[in-house]
Chains A and B, each alone.
Chain A
Amino acid sequence: MTRRDTPLVLVADDEEDIRALVAFRLKRAGYEVITAADGEEALLLATTRLPDLAVLDMMMPKATGLEVTRSMREQETTKDIPVILLTARAQEADVSRGFEAGADDYVKKPFSPQDLQTRVQALLERAAAT
């Protein structure tokens, strides 16, 4: 994985408001942010831009967060990129499916932007250490 001075974070959510909210908070925290409005776009950005971390909504048109995570795990260039899933479905089953697909963390909606930022930071630090 490429190491950048400013970590690049991919944020994918079909809700523009939430996308903007996460992007704003992460940019304020000093990250570079790219956004995607659906699963296909997210996967395209993940494979072309190779971000340092991806925040993916579970329910997105064209491809769900789970599917994007699985595809990323299958490709050599993207398989090590940490993934945080955003889920609005509170069922335990969704969470365990997320981890099975290869996600590193999950955040339940509604979430605190501060909390999400802390998790992003923690995962990036862990990835940098390995």
Chain B
Amino acid sequence: MDLRRQVWKIVLGAAVLAGGAYDVWTPLGYQGVASAGLNALAVAGVLVGIRWHRPARRLPWYLIASCPTLWVVGYGIQQFYVSSGIQIPVGYAADAFFLAGNAGLIAALVLLLLSRESRFDSSLDVGIVVLAVSQLAWATLISKYALDGTLPLLGRATQIAYAFTDVVMLALVARILVAPGKRTASFLLVPCGVICILVADFGFNWLTLAGINTATVDFAPIWSFAVLLLGAAAVHPAMSRLFPKKAVRSSTPQWSYLGLLFVAASVTPLILATKALGGAALDKHLVLFCAVTGGALMQLVLVRMVGFLRAVSSARALASQNVRLRELDALKDEFIASVSHELRTPLTSIRGYLELLQTEESENLRPEQREFLAIVDRNGERLLGLVSDLLFVAQIDAGRLELTLAETDLSRLVEQTVESGRPTAAEKGIRLNAEIEERSVAHGDRTRLAQLLDNLVSNALKFTPPGGLVRVHLRTSGTKAVIEVSDTGVGMPAEEQAHLFDRFYRTPSARRLAVPGTGLGLSIAKAIVDAHEGTIGVVSSEGTGTIFRIELPLARDTRTNRPSEVAA
């Protein structure tokens, strides 16, 4: 539905309007109610987004929704205090809900980062940014709260907890912004929302510490605007792919990430230098804190830098290896093409002139000469078959077995194969039958499937003694066509069957009986069946014969009718 694709803009517009004109439309003394209402709207946005866009993972979105939900409760408590005219203490029940909301958002951000980066590297990175930002926070905010003896313990703990969750959120957002993956609207709106929360939090703290009465400067619209950005992220269609089931990984190192490392590494000296240049006496808590966290920070940066440089060099090695492999592949293609040309050209002359001799000059030849020419002809054909088989195998190896797919009547294919095998069968005194239970049509490459059946039938004829029987049986079973090529030939023991489809494998009995062949036919047959997403198997026992069974998926609209039997 089109509205569903556009509604995020409406939410975004509502956020801007509500935030910008907050002081105009909010009745004095009811800011808590107004904020609770906007937070409830954000929650509704997330829930509607989940319902509409069905994201791959819902948990992160519920965690995002938990933030405004808990804040609604917090604003409710705040409104209660304001309405009752009670002085709001530092560190009261509402703070617990606001902090819990922060925690839910942090959990969602962790999941967002993990869906884009490896657990180990991103943990190190978050550690680095947390250390760097906590130095800033300590220098600017926390140390003053921590050392403020006038505040009660709960109040101090609350302020430090706020600062701490802010530091962690900032670290996560900084890391997420340099993570790989598509920058969709949802991807950008979530960090933007968090950044707004942080701006309001830090602003609020600074003013409080500067001794300015925060009642005169209202941060509520910024916090509400922030959660509405989260709501807009959730109703945007891109939300469904924000937390993919399978993590997005970048194979190439991100250079923007290197900038983050440099900034993080410069924080400690910058703080100390700024403090020293500011003329203030360096307080020992700050120096101690910076020394400890700065040391840990440097070590983490070093570890990550090593990992980063390694990733850069391995990406380079991989790139040059890829170039080399592509060159080799092109060389191989060229080789196959030229071998194909070089082998076929002399064969053209041999077979062409033979044909001329056998047709044009036939009456001038003695019977013995005609027989010799027939032998040359047969062997020329065999050589050609071998060249074709080798080229075919090379094509399979190169992953280029191209199928020209069309509706292929398997019944006709079986009939034609049997028809073309008939002269050889008659020569050897073997009965060759096509048994077609029902007409079946497969979605396949006609030429390749004909090659497959030819291979199997000529194999069966090779291994069957005179007086034997070779049958090609076609039936359907469910959504599959089943073709069985069975013979009453020499058969083979189980240990030979295991290698039957291996390239160049020839059974000991084939060698013993001097049956001509290269050992490529069945491996080609298997490749053709595989390319058609079918299966091929063999049942055989020594002395009684062999059955090759092929299963091929039927074309969808196959109609089955006309049971028939075409016998020799």
Residues of A whose CB lies within 8 Å of any CB of B are: 15, 17-18, 21-22, 24-25, 28, 59, 88-92, 109-114
Contacts and interface: CB of A to CB of B under 8 A. Distances in A.
Contacts of B391: 90
A88 B360 contact: no
Interface in B341-387: 341, 344-345, 347-353, 355-356, 359-360, 384
Interface in B407-432: none
B2 interface: no
A40 B330 CA distance: 28
A18 B337 contact: no
B377 to A, nearest CB: 11
Contact of A110 (B347, B356, B360): B347
Interface string B155-172: 000000000000000000
B355 A114 contact: yes
Given A89-B340, A110-B384, A15 B355 contact: no
B524 to A, nearest CB: 14
30 contacts: A15-B349, A17-B353, A18-B345, A18-B348, A18-B349, A21-B352, A24-B356, A28-B360, A59-B341, A88-B344, A88-B345, A89-B337, A89-B340, A90-B344, A90-B388, A90-B391, A109-B347, A109-B348, A110-B344, A110-B348, A110-B350, A110-B351, A111-B348, A111-B352, A112-B351, A112-B352, A112-B355, A113-B356, A114-B355, A114-B359
Contacts of A109: 344-345, 347-348
Contacts of B87: none
Contacts of B351: 110, 112
A18 B347 CA distance: 10
Contacts of B402: 92
Given A18-B348, A28-B360, A113 B341 contact: no
A89 B341 contact: yes
A113 B355 contact: yes
What size tier do the contact residues of chain B reach? Answer: 20 to 34
B404 A18 contact: no
Interface string B318-350: 000000000000000000010011001101111
A21 B349 contact: yes
Interface of B: 337, 340-341, 344-345, 347-353, 355-356, 359-360, 384, 388, 391, 402, 404
A21 B349 CA distance: 7
A113 B352 contact: yes
B340 A21 contact: no
Contacts of A22: 352
A115 to B, nearest CB: 9
B344 A18 contact: no
A72 to B, nearest CB: 23
Given A25-B356, A90-B388, A92-B402, A17 B341 contact: no
Given A18-B349, A112-B355, 12 more contacts: A15-B345, A15-B348, A15-B349, A17-B353, A25-B356, A89-B337, A89-B340, A90-B344, A91-B337, A110-B347, A110-B351, A113-B352
A124 B348 CA distance: 24
A22 B350 CA distance: 13
Contacts of B341: 59, 88-89
A17 B349 contact: yes
Nearest to B352: A21
Q: Which are the 8 A-B pairs with shortest beta-carbon distances?
A: A110-B348, A88-B344, A17-B349, A88-B341, A21-B352, A109-B348, A110-B347, A109-B344
Nearest to B402: A92
B357 to A, nearest CB: 11
Nearest to A28: B360
Contacts of B344: 88, 90, 109-110
A87 to B, nearest CB: 9
B461 to A, nearest CB: 24
